[in-house]
């Protein structure tokens, strides 16, 4: 137990503020653009799958590859959206400290 508890609290607030100043620019300038780029790639994979399904013959190999590409795109978009949400929660939590 400390005789000066307010000093410990002030030290914790300074550390949290310093942590937020370090982490938030990393999220904003590095991680967010990577997530946007990967989300765009997932959209392209999904669109490619749609084109394969539409122009491939039903039941053919191209049709099946298109369905797999569409599922891959949907899963990729879901993962990137989830990652973005988690990053936003962490970033907002750090800002609020």
Q: What is the pLDDT along the chain (97 residues), one digit of tens a residue?
A: 455 555 555 555 556 667 677 777 888 889 889 999 999 999 999 999 999 999 988 888 999 999 999 999 999 999 999 999 998 888 788 766 5
* Rounded CA separation 57/74 (Å): 22
Q: Is the pTM of this model over 0.75?
A: no
The ranges assigned to domains in the chain are: 34-97
Rounded distance, CA 34 to CA 42, Å? 12
- Could you report how far apart the first and last alpha carbons of the chain are, in Å? 23
The pLDDT of residue 3: 55
């Amino acid at each position: 137990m400390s005789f000066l508890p307010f000093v410990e609290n002030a030290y914790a607030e300074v550390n949290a503020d310093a942590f937020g100043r370090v982490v938030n620019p990393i999220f904003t300038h590095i991680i967010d653009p990577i997530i946007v780029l990967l989300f765009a790639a997932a959209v392209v994979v999904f669109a490619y799958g749609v084109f394969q399904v539409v122009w491939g013959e039903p039941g053919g190999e191209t049709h099946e590859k298109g369905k797999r590409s569409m599922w891959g795109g949907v899963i990729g978009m879901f993962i990137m959206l989830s990652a973005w949400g988690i990053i936003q929660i962490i970033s907002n939590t750090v800002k609020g400290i």
